[in-house]
Homo-oligomer: A and B are copies of this chain.
Amino acid sequence: METRNHEKVTVMKQIKSRLGNIGNAITGVGAEARRLAKEDSRRIVHAFKVGLAVALVSLLYFFDFFFDGFGVNAMWAVMTVVVVFEFSVGATLGKGVNRAIATLLGGALGFAAHDAASYTGDKVQVILLGLSVFVIAVVATFCRFFPKMRTRYDYGLLIFILTFSLISVSGYRNDEVWDMAYGRLTTILVGCCATVLVCSLVRPVWAGEDLHKLTASNIQQLGTFLEVFGGVYFQEEAKDDKNQVLLNDYKSVLNSKGVEDSLTPLQHRAKIKEPCKMIISESSSALRELAMGIQTMTCSPSRDVHVVNAKSAAAKLKALMKTGLWPDADFLGIVPAVAVASLLTEVVLCTVKINEAVAKLASSARFKKVDRGIKKELSLDKMQRTPSIEGSHINIVVE
């Protein structure tokens, strides 16, 4: 009796622990889902948009049996919605156009092949159709390896092979094939239209806008990183809590510098401190100005001032290094400080290049000219670096 009881307890414990495991797994998935949704709330919106489009077109298919409009072909509309719906409007449009054109071309060519083969005998017909499907599939598949085709028309080529095979080998009589091809094309167009409408009207996502924000926030991050690096490298105290938070944010990046830091005696750093700090502050100010300019599509003249200041500081640093401040120092000990100095001069060169590129952008996109006196800092919550932006797009297509 006691063993029985003992067994029961053991089984109960096992069940409990398994239930606990399942519970943990569910909690884990829930936490991951919350994280994904928080990182980019547009993901939830996207899921609901897809649900809406699929439900709409499915009901079309369902009612079809009462009104007898599209026939069995209506399922192509459901298929189109599921396959074509992408995260951003541009990608959806690209896929929809690809599918529509490929269906049209493949259908036309398939119809022609079917028609041509129907004038021959049964056996010849089979051989001709099999051969034509083979040749088209070989050529179109090889075309998918062309880099230009792959980036833009990969999906279209797939649909082209598909439609061609389906239509040409359908085995129907000519007029039936015509009906089938016509039905397939119209329902695919209905599906494409429904998809594009839902995608572009309900909280649309524009890849170009994301790129715009991403560029601005990346440049802003460069500036911030530079400043934080300067603070850490020259051993300054974190001024307030905000800085401390930033420091933690960049710790992973800074960790890679750990080895180098430990090799550099502090006295060497002190010698190049003045011009280096000047370079850092001016470059990061310039970068922040540039980021703000891209974000708000304005251009302020003060960024040029910062760039000029950074350039003159770099010249000073170079002169300082040429005069040889360390004639008797241990050679290996100096190298890291020299490396930092030369990297900083390169940072200035890069800042100048970024400045030129933004100036070009500003002139072609006709940024407004403003004198920024009041708004000195970009609100950080708007400009937070979001790796999620790339993560949300299954595939960023630049149209």
A40's nearest neighbour on chain B, judged by CB, is B145
- Which B residues touch A147, using CB under 8 A? 391
Number of interface residues of A (CB under 8 A): 69
Q: Are B330 and A58 in contact (CB under 8 A)?
A: no
Q: Are A78 and B394 in contact (CB under 8 A)?
A: no
**Binary per-residue interface labels of chain A (59-93) against chain B in the complex, 1 for a CB within 8 Å, 0 otherwise:** 10110110000001001001100110000000000
Give Cα distance in the complex from A171 to B147, angstroms. Answer: 44
Q: Are A58 and B135 in contact (CB under 8 A)?
A: no
Knowing A129-B58, A133-B54, A162-B78 are in contact, say whether A342-B331 is a contact too (CB < 8 A): no
Q: Are A78 and B138 in contact (CB under 8 A)?
A: no
Give Cα distance in the complex from A19 to B155, angstroms. Answer: 31
Q: Are B129 and A62 in contact (CB under 8 A)?
A: yes
Give Cα distance in the complex from A43 to B75, angstroms. Answer: 34
Cβ 8 A contact of A331, one of B50, B61, B129, B321: B321
Cβ 8 A contact of A55, one of B52, B137, B158, B162: B137
* Least CB distance, A176 to chain B, in whole angstroms: 11
**Binary per-residue interface labels of chain A (304-336) against chain B in the complex, 1 for a CB within 8 Å, 0 otherwise:** 000000000000001001101011001110010
Knowing A33-B142, A126-B62 are in contact, say whether A54-B165 is a contact too (CB < 8 A): yes
- Which B residues touch A321, using CB under 8 A? 331-332
A160's nearest neighbour on chain B, judged by CB, is B82
- Which B residues touch A144, using CB under 8 A? 394
Interface membership of A46, Cβ < 8 A: yes
Give Cα distance in the complex from A134 to B47, angstroms. Answer: 10
Knowing A51-B141, A133-B58 are in contact, say whether A82-B161 is a contact too (CB < 8 A): yes
- Which B residues touch A36, using CB under 8 A? 142, 145-146
Knowing A137-B54, A324-B331 are in contact, say whether A62-B169 is a contact too (CB < 8 A): yes
* Least CB distance, A75 to chain B, in whole angstroms: 5
Give Cα distance in the complex from A154 to B87, angstroms. Answer: 14
Most buried by B among A131, A144, A326: A144
Give Cα distance in the complex from A62 to B130, angstroms. Answer: 9
Give Cα distance in the complex from A21 to B203, angstroms. Answer: 45
- Which B residues touch A246, using CB under 8 A? none
- Which B residues touch A394, using CB under 8 A? 144, 150, 154
Interface residues of A in 26-59 (CB under 8 A from B): 32-33, 36, 43-44, 46-48, 50-52, 54-55, 58-59
Interface membership of A139, Cβ < 8 A: yes
Q: Are A169 and B342 in contact (CB under 8 A)?
A: no
Cβ 8 A contact of A169, one of B61, B135, B150: B61
Cβ 8 A contact of A171, one of B62, B134, B162, B318: B62
* Least CB distance, A325 to chain B, in whole angstroms: 8
**Binary per-residue interface labels of chain A (80-116) against chain B in the complex, 1 for a CB within 8 Å, 0 otherwise:** 0011000000000000000000000000000000000
Give Cα distance in the complex from A162 to B394, angstroms. Answer: 18
* Least CB distance, A43 to chain B, in whole angstroms: 5
Q: Closest 8 CB pairs between A and B?
A: A51-B138, A47-B142, A51-B137, A55-B134, A65-B171, A47-B141, A58-B169, A54-B137
Q: List 16 additional A-B contacts (Cβ < 8 Å) besides A62-B130, A322-B331.
A: A33-B146, A36-B142, A46-B141, A47-B137, A54-B133, A54-B134, A55-B130, A59-B169, A61-B169, A62-B169, A62-B171, A72-B72, A78-B165, A321-B332, A324-B330, A326-B331
30 A-B residue contacts at CB 8 Å? Answer: A43-B145, A46-B141, A47-B141, A50-B138, A51-B136, A51-B137, A51-B141, A54-B165, A55-B130, A55-B131, A55-B133, A58-B129, A58-B130, A59-B126, A61-B169, A61-B171, A62-B129, A62-B130, A78-B166, A82-B161, A82-B162, A144-B394, A145-B391, A145-B392, A147-B391, A150-B394, A318-B332, A321-B331, A322-B331, A324-B331
